[in-house]
Structures are given as C-alpha cells and as structure tokens.
Structure 1
Amino acid sequence: MADDDDERLRSGLDKLKASLSKAREAQGPAPVPRDRVSEAARGDSGVSLGMRAGSEFISAIIVGSGVGWALDRLLGTNPAFLIVFFMLGVAAGVWGVVRLTSPKGGGSARDSRLSHPDAADKGFSRSAPAAEPDASPGRGASRGAKEASGGADDDED
C-alpha cells in the first residue's frame, strides 16, 4: 500500500518537473533586475569608479584653470580669472564626483527600511532618559535594582 502511494507521488512529481521545465524553456532566460546586476558586470568596479571619479575631478580643475589662465592672458588681468575659474573648476569637479557616485534609479528599493512612513520605530519618542525615568516598562525595574544594589550607573552622566 505504501509502495503504491510512493509510486503515485513520484510519478506526479516527475510530471510536475517536466511541465515546469517545458514552461521555463518556453519563457527563455529570466531577466535580471537592474539593481541586482553586479558592479563588476556593468564595468563599475570599485577601482574603476575611483579612477573615473578622480580623473573627472582633476580634469574639471585643469579645464577651469586653463580657461581662467587664457582669459587672464587675453585680457591682461593677472590672477583674477584664474582664481575665479579655478574655483568654478573645483565646484564642477565636486559636482561631477557626487553625480557619478550617487545611486542611479531604484527609487524606494534602495532606501533604508526605516525611511518608510510605516517603519517599526515611527511614533516612538526619543526623549532623554532623565526627562522620563519610567518611560519604558523594563527600564524602571533595572534602574531600581541598580540603585538598590548601591552600584553606580555608568551610562548616565
């Protein structure tokens, strides 16, 4: 009797495996979500990202300084335009690095789980322990035990 049940279950399992493999073959390979693709597969490994950010920063400074130097030579105003365009180059370099290293797309999938409005810690007050000594149920009991034992509480100043 048990052998008949096992055979029936195994044949049902084999049929299910066969139909699943046929369906999987008909669909083709499953697309990988953009945020799941590894950085190395996209060509943005840590070293290449750092080199790209550094070169973008340096090139922005060089271009800004070059434009400032050329304007100073052309107009005869020594270091005025060089200083201004050097600062603009630094600002453009920082902006480029921030833009390069900030996350792209993904929306709320990349946010912390605590940044959502329904996070578990929303609604709790974060007041100082001295302002509300018995705010949480277990806190007063542990404080009373420490005071009763005569031990100093190192956490509070």
Structure 2
Amino acid sequence: MAKDENDDDLRARLDSLSTALDAQQKASQDQKAHSGQTEEAGRSIGRAMSLGFRVLTEFVAAVVVGGLIGWKLDDWCHTSPLFLILFLGVGTAAGFWTVYRIAVKPPGSPGSLT
C-alpha cells in the first residue's frame, strides 16, 4: 500500500509540473508573438520616417538648386529677379514631380509609401 501512495504522490507531482511547464511555454509563446508585433511596428515607423526625410530633402534640394541656378543666371545676364523667379518655379515643379513619383511607386517596391 505504501508503494501505491508513493506512486500516486509522484503522479500528482508530475501532473502539476507538466501543467506548470505548459503554462510557462504558452506564456513564452505569447511574449514572442507580442515582441514580434512590437518589432514590426518599430520597423514600420522607421521606414515611414526614412521615406518622409527622403521626400523632404529631395523637394528642398530641387527648390534650392533651381534658386541657385536662377540667381547665377541673373548675375551673369545682369537681369534682376527674372531668372531667379523662373528657376524657383521650375525647381518647385521638379520637387513636386519627384514627390509624386515616389508616391505612385507600386506597393512593396523599394522607396514606396506602402
């Protein structure tokens, strides 16, 4: 009879350990799933910020280059603000065109908005 009681005690302990182990594995899997979602959200924010900075710098660069070309042409040709205004407009149009091209890239392609 003592042997049956020891076996019952051992089985009860084994069952409680198995239950605790299963609960710990489930908690570990839940934590991994949650951290995976957090990492993906971080990557998504990083990609969006990178794309935003790219759009900003390309637009500003186009306007600045257009302005510099117009200013230098005005200096060479001795015209006051004619070429400066003209090339500022051209630079702005080029900046908008660049932003538009980035925005309409197919989803999933490098540098696209989605």
Higher relative contact order (CA 8 A, sep 6+): 2
Unaligned runs of 5+ in 1: 1-37, 107-157
**Aligned equivalent of 2:70:** 68
More helix by share: 2
**CA positional deviation for 1:57:** 0.2
Q: Give the distance between the partners of 1:92 and 1:49, measured in 2 at CA.
A: 18
1:102 to 81, 89, 104: 104
Give runs of aligned pairs for residues 1-157 of structure 1, distance below 5 A. 45-104=47-106
Percent identical across equivalent pairs? 41
Q: 1:86-115 CA deviation, whole Å, 9 max, x = no partner?
A: 000000000001111223278xxxxxxxxx
Which 4+ stretches in 1 moved above 2 angstroms? Answer: 103-106
User: Secondary structure in 1 aligned to 2:80?
Assistant: coil
- In the superposition, the TM-score normalised over structure 1's length comes to 0.39
Unaligned runs of 5+ in 2: 1-39, 109-114
Q: Give the distance between the partners of 2:51 and 2:107, measured in 1 at CA.
A: 17
- In the superposition, the TM-score normalised over structure 2's length comes to 0.53
Q: 1:49-107 CA deviation, whole Å, 9 max, x = no partner?
A: 0000000000000000000000000000010000000000000000001111223278x
Q: How many residues align?
A: 67
